[in-house]
Amino acid sequence: MAAGRPTLPSLLLDGVASPILHVSQLASLLGLEWPAQLEASRIAWDATAILEGWLHAIRPLDFETLTQPTPSRGRSLRNLTVNVFHPFELLPTAFDARWFDWDPALDEAREVELQDSASVVGYATDRYLAWHEWLATHEGQFVDCDPEIDSPRGTLTYANLIASQRFHAAFHYRQLLAVLEEGSHDLTGLLSLTSLADLRLPREVF
């Protein structure tokens, strides 16, 4: 997506663009059947691998690198880290409450508290570990239960909510790698997104 455009797809309702979380929402509104996808648990573990890859990538970075503007609408890697990891803090509660209370507009307020590289990494690590632990103990529930979840961006199934966050994390992970490569950082050993099945990212990185 080009710089300056929103990273979430939008639905035009009454002449106003309303962001959505997953393209299945468009299919539902158009009366179209959404094709079968990978199991929700598989998608969730894919997303977990992306979070782990992100952590590996940012651990060696200094605070100056983490706070420099990037081609992703001028957002810093610190901001993108908050934007990627915070939704996974909300996903466990969403499964029980049927409400995904994600407001990316508050990311700037969240990131301002992270004033050094250790706190940025710590923020991401805490949310990664909490999500990993929850997933390890609850993934069996995905087999028999795929509840509909309400959100500020409409209603979708929990499986598609996870899929939306896998896509979102992967989209920004690719940007993270591009920024690091541009800065001549060593990318050896970092997760390759080609290892994830059925992940359709747009051609444009930014």
pLDDT given for residue 143 in this prediction: 73
Percentage of the chain modeled with pLDDT above 70: 82
pLDDT given for residue 154 in this prediction: 85
The two three-digit tokens of residue 95, written as one number: 């499964």
For 37-195, CATH number out of 1.20.120.450, 3.30.750.24, 1.10.287.110, 3.30.70.3400 equals: 1.20.120.450
pLDDT given for residue 166 in this prediction: 95
CB 120 within 8 A of CB 78: yes
∠ CA 83-86-89, nearest 5°, is 165
Question: Which residues make Cβ contacts (< 8 Å) with residue 126, sequence separation at least 6?
Answer: none
155-187 tens-digit pLDDT = 889 998 999 999 999 999 999 999 999 999 999
pLDDT of 194 higher than 90: yes
pLDDT given for residue 63 in this prediction: 98
Q: In 3D, which of 2, 7, 22, 1 has the Cα closest to residue 154?
A: 22
When the pLDDT of each residue in the chain is averaged and rounded to a whole number, the result is: 86
